Structure 1
Amino acid sequence: MYRYYTKGVCSKSILMDIQGDILTDVVFEGGCSGNAIGIKHLVEGKNIDEIIEMLEDIPCKNRGTSCPDQLAKALKIYKEYAYEKQQ
């Protein structure tokens, strides 16, 4: 399980289970539970590159980021520092 501490959004962190390049579980700690559950159901079982492409740069209010965008950022960091090292 990987934890990403979010910046600029209501959720405090994102917990992720990733097998290879597939996101198998995601939990947002804090924030709007309805949106977090919706994101969870939409992205679980998908390839991390597909999720990044789908969610990157989605804004929330005037924050310049959002919970979906933070998930994309977390997956990019995972991909750069953990996934690439496994290959």
Structure 2
Amino acid sequence: MSSIIKFIPDGVCSKEISFYICDGKLKNVEFVKGCTGNAQGISKLVEGMDALDVAKRLKGIKCQNGTSCPDQLAAAIEKTLKE
């Protein structure tokens, strides 16, 4: 999988999450809108990490509406890996 994945998150301030997975590693994570500093921080921290490991670490983190941008990134990764 090396094409850019675009995911529309639910229940968070971010309007879109994009990334790609190459050789199991997460690359170029970008959040559209939302909390800029947090989104940039998450993006830099997960760059090059194992995608499944990122999903496991971020799944279940809550901010509002029972979810968060990290939780939505985890959902996007899990959905992508199942396809």
Normalising TM by the smaller chain, what interval? over 0.9
Does 2:45 align with 1:51?
Answer: no
Does 2:34 align with 1:31?
Answer: yes
TM-score normalized by the length of structure 1: 0.89
Coordinate RMSD, CA, aligned = 0.7
Does 2:17 align with 1:17?
Answer: no
State the structure with more CA Rg.
1
Shift of 1:49: 1.1
Unaligned stretches of 5+ in structure 1?
A: 82-87
Bigger helix share: 1
Percent identity over the alignment is: 43
Aligned length: 80
Find the aligned partners of 1:21 and 1:75 in 2 and give their Cα distance.
11
1:68 corresponds to which of 61, 67, 70: 70
The corresponding residue for 1:85 is none
TM-score normalized by the length of structure 2: 0.93
